[in-house]
Every structure is written in C-alpha cells, then in structure tokens.
Structure 1
Amino acid sequence: MEHKVLIGEGSTAQVVIFSPTEVAKIFHDHISDDFVEHEYSIHKNILQSGLLVPEVRWGKPIPGKRVLIYEKVEGITLTKLLESQPQKALYYLKKMATLQNSVHEKKLPTLPSQFEVLKQKIMSVKELNGDDKKRIIKGLEALPLGQCMCHGDFHPDNILITKDNAVIIDWCDATSGNRMADLARTLLILRYGGLQDRTSFLNFRTTLYARKLLAMYYRKSYTRHYQFSSRVLESWMVPIAAARLSENLPDFEKKLLLSIINKGLIGN
C-alpha cells in the first residue's frame, strides 16, 4: 500500500486512494480489531438511514494491517472551502447547520447509546479527578436521553462538498441520543478545535474572536430548523467538553475545555 496516494490521516488511520472509485482506510497498529469491526458495523447501519454516505466493505488482506474500503467521493472538504473562500464562510456554515439538522431528524435506534458512550469517555479522562467525573456524570444523568441520530464528530473536515451534494463521512462515533449533545460538540470544535498557542498574542486573540463569531452564527443558523433555549444547550457543554478531553488534543485546547468544565462545576 506504500505506493498509494495519501489523502488524509487521523488518530486512528491513514486514508489512501485505493482505486479510481475507492479509498482505503488503513488503521494504525495500536487500533484494536474491535474498533475496526465497530466502525464497519456502524457505517452499515448508517447506510440504512437514507443519508448520502459512501459505501463500505472489508479490504483485501494486507499483512499486519486492518483495512476498510470506502466508495471514493469526488469532492472537497468543507474545511478547505472555508480556508479558500473565507468570504463565503457564513453561507457554508448555514448549509452545514441544515445538514446537521437533517441528520438529527433521522432515528436509528440500533446505534450505540449516546449516554453510555459519553459516560465511558468521561471516565477515561486523565485530566479529571474521580470526584469531578462523578459530578459530571451525575449532571449527564439528569439530561434527557433523546432518540435522534447523532454523528458524534460533526465538523467541516467530515463534510465533503461534491458537484451536486454534501456527503458526511467518518461515522464511527455515531450514536442514538440527544441532538443538543451533538450540537454542543460541533460548537466546541468550531470555537476551539485544533487551536495551538504557537502564534503571536494578537493573532491568537483575533483567531479566537473570529471562531467565537462563527460558532455564534452556526448556532443561530441551526435554530432556524430547531428551536431551543440557551439554558438547554449550555447544560450539555460540561459533559461534552469532558468527553472530548478523552481525545488526543493540543494542550492549549485541553486548557480551554478544562476552563469550561471548571466554571460549570463551580456554577453547580
């Protein structure tokens, strides 16, 4: 597979062009067989929803590697469009909010429980002590479960814009649960995702402020499809921020998430 063209890489796998109509997701060595099987099963479930998602199948055996083959989508990520056409950012964010709502309008009870997934992630966070985890999970237990299909990692890099449509990819974190939890995660990523404290103070503060405005616009765009109160959305921020800490994030983003959590815990 070394000769294949690399088109993406994340914490779990590399994605390469496998054929003119297919891409291969080659999982890193530390990823378990259970995780790969879970992703395959989840994606097969999502295909039943009627949403535009690429087909998936098991890959041909590669010594020492686990591979899933996905239908190749001829498109560009929304992230790249936002970078290359910043003047159209509000237009794209509005379309993105419409797309996320279309996911939430679906129901697929065969998906994993959002509550159980969040609880497991929170319990695995190293940056939180046992008492804080118990308080966060207690707060999570008081929130309504919901039965909406939730992507679990809905952000611009997981949206491919094609000539005629938008295709959502990377469904391995999909769950059945509350749409507010899914929206809260998207807003946290829009505001803080990937932030690095490696630039000048002025540039960093400008970026942080711009991100805040874009997230506010996204939230407003989503309310055009589904009305909710600020209090309801805010009630999800602490558990979602805590669950996100279980991921491999830049240190500065972790500090921002911990600040949200600490303020939320003090308020309660």
Structure 2
Amino acid sequence: MGIFIDRVEWVDKSDKLDDLLRKAALVTTEPMEQGFEAEVIKINIEKESYVWKVWNKRSKPDIRFQFHLLNALYQQGVSVSKPVGWGIDANADHVLLTTFDGIPVHKLSDQKMTEMAKLLAHIHRIRVEELGNLRLPQHDFIDYFYPGVKEHADIYQAVTSLVPLIPIKQDCIIHGDFHLKNILEEQDRITVIDWTNAQIGDARYDFVWSLILMKLYIPERYAAVFRSAYLLEHPIQEKELAVFEALACLRWTLLNRYGGTPSGPDTIERLKSLVTHNPFLQECGFTDIPIKNRE
C-alpha cells in the first residue's frame, strides 16, 4: 500500500501535520497487525512514528467524530493517541493519522491490569459537557450491541428478559470495546485506541464487557485484579454485575455465531463455566450454547 500524506484532502488537522507534509518525501512504512474494519500502517518520518488508518473495507464510521473525540479526550488528560489529522484519500476512503503509541499489551502484570482499570474508570468519570460541543451518539442498547439478534431466538429471549432487570443508563462516555488488543504499551505508558464504538452509554456494561473478554482470554488472576481495581474506583452492586455479565456472555455468543470472535484452546470451556455459574442465565433457561468453534 502506498502512503502519500500529501495526496490526501485533509479536512481537519493539527499544526503537526503541516510540518509532516513538508517532509512527505521522507515517509517510510512498516506493517502492523490489521483490524477487521480498516487497514493500519505504521509510518515513520525521520525519528517520529505515526499510525495511518484507512477505512477501505465495508465499515464506514464517522472519522470526523473520532478525530475530535480523540482531541477532546487528549485535552482531558486521558491516555489516548493524539490525533494529527483526518481526511479523504484518492480512493475516497477516509484516513485518520495519529501518533504511534506502542504495541498491544502482551506480558501481563498486576500493575498493568490496575493501570488499565484506572484508565477505564477515568474515562467513565468524564462528564459529557467537558468535551465541549462534541456530540456523542446514543444508541438503543439491544439494537447496537446485539445486531441481528432477532434471528437467534434463544439469545433474543434471554436478552429481552434480562434488560428490564437493570434499566440501562446513558449517562457517561463509554469506549464500547475496551480489550487488550485496543490497549497499547510503550515503555511505562498505556494507551487506549480504536474509539469506533464510543458513545454515551452505561459504564457498568462497558466495564463488564471488558471483564468478560478478560475472563475468556487471559489468566483468571489478572482478570480478578482488573475487576477489583475498577470496582475500587467505580463501585457496582453485585446483582448489577451478574446481570451485565449475563448480557456480555450473550453478546459474545452472538458475535461468535457470526464468526466475529477469536477462540483460544479453552475459550469455549470458559464461556460455558461463566454461563453455568450465572444465576440469571440459569433462570432464563440459557444453558445450551450452540457456538461456532474455530479452534
């Protein structure tokens, strides 16, 4: 993929981009791990590195919103990538240029899990009005997080029986997909990326979705550290936790049926254990889990 930062129609940009454009001929590139929605390239200009993300696949999110959200969060002291510019390339695809902030966390520790928990709690404490005129989207909870669920009667019945137990709030900023592949580390700093799903939503759901992913994919002790550290910052009642854990398990199962979740050697067994030990899933009769196992 050719990177031509001087051939993009830049819509919004920082002062830094003007400096980079003067050095466009010096750009070199390195491959990066690819996402489902966009192509991602690391670009280097002299001694500085950046991330070039181009949405040239099916997904067409609002990149203008992402640029301004990152800028607002950065100004609030949240550990996010600093946006450099966004625009439209020669293929009419949207491009976002940000600072390069490391690679996904691989080696876990109690300290890192605690830092992640505090970062998520920090995000949830930011008042929407602190972001100025930025308008965060609000979505129907079931329609957004359970796309096509009506085609899966067992999951739909369970979700619709659980949601009324704990009314969904829309009172804070949520990331929407806070997991290890969206958390980078460089030296002693961690950074959260990929704000495609950012919206006004329920902090309890945002936290529990992250927690369930950790319970499915990483050693239990580290998930437990993340859980404890977050709840010290942002207490949640046990009943609420259990209901949202049930909802998170249902969402993972739905996405798995669409082929949208990775599976490790014991992921499915972990999921089955979570379902078996969740009283709300047992009460609504969701015990049989037809899944798409791609181990």
The bucket for the TM-score relative to the shorter chain is 0.7 to 0.9
CA distance in structure 1 between the partners assigned to 2:270 and 2:160 by the alignment: 20
Question: 1:213 pairs with 218, 221, 234, which one?
Answer: 221
The question of whether the paired residues in 1 share the 8 Å contact of 2:174 and 2:198 is answered with yes
Quick one: higher RCO (CA 8 Å, sep 6+), 1 or 2? 1
Match of 2:192 in 1: 168
Query: Quick one: distance in 2 between partners of 1:47 and 1:176?
Result: 17
Give the TM-score taking structure 1 as reference length.
0.75
Partner of 1:197: none
Alignment check: 8 A CA contact 2:42 2:100 kept = no
Residue 71 of structure 1 corresponds to 98
Residue 117 of structure 1 deviates from its aligned partner by: 4.5
> Over the residues paired in the alignment, what is the CA RMSD in angstroms?
3.0
1:179 equivalent to 2:191? Answer no
Structure 2 unaligned runs (5+)?
A: 4-28, 130-134, 285-295
Residues 122, 239 of structure 1: 8 Å contact kept: no
Displacement after TM superposition at 1:56 (Å): 5.1
Amino acid at match of 2:222: L
The aligned amino acid for 1:184 is V
Q: Mark the structure with the bigger radius of gyration.
A: 2
Contact 2:174 2:199 in 1 (8 A): yes
- 1:136 is aligned to 2:159: yes
The match for 1:58 is 86
Q: Kindly provide the CA deviation profile for residues 215-247 of structure 1, in whole angstroms up to 9, marking residues without a partner as x.
A: 112111112212222221111122223333336
* Runs of 4+ more than 6 Å apart: none
- Per-residue CA deviation, residues 155-196 of structure 1 (Å, 9 max, x unaligned), is 222222345643221011112122110111111111214xxx
* Alpha-carbon distance in structure 2 between the residues aligned to 1:19 and 1:105: 35
Cα separation, partners in 2 of 1:191 and 1:40, compared to 1, 3 Å: farther
Aligned equivalent of 1:15: 40
Match status 1:93 vs 2:113: yes
Distance across 1 between alignment mates of 2:126 and 2:163: 23
CA distance in 1, matches of 2:227, 2:111: 13
Give the Cα separation in 2 of the matches to 1:26 and 1:46: 16
91-100 vs 137-146, which deviates more?
137-146
Following superposition, the deviation at residue 92 of structure 1 comes to: 0.7
Match of 1:265 in 2: 281
Q: Give CA-to-partner distance per residue, 1:121-156, whole Å, 9 cap, x none.
A: 324248x62354144134224424141211111122
Partner of 1:41: 65
What amino acid sits opposite 1:107 in the alignment? R
Deviation sequence 1:38-89 (CA, Å, 0-9, x none): 24314423432422332153345243x6242222224343x2343xxxxxx1
Distance 1:133 1:16 in 2: 38
Quote the residue 2:124 is aligned against.
104
Q: Does the aligned pair in 2 maintain the 1:42–1:111 contact within 8 Å?
A: no
TM-score, normalised by the number of residues in structure 2: 0.69
Q: Deviations over 1:89-134 (max 9, x none)?
A: 11111111111110111132732225x15433324248x6235414
Query: Tell me, which stretches of 5 or more residues in structure 1 are unaligned?
Result: 83-88, 194-209
Aligned length: 238
- State the identity %: 20
The residue that corresponds to 1:246 in the other structure is 255
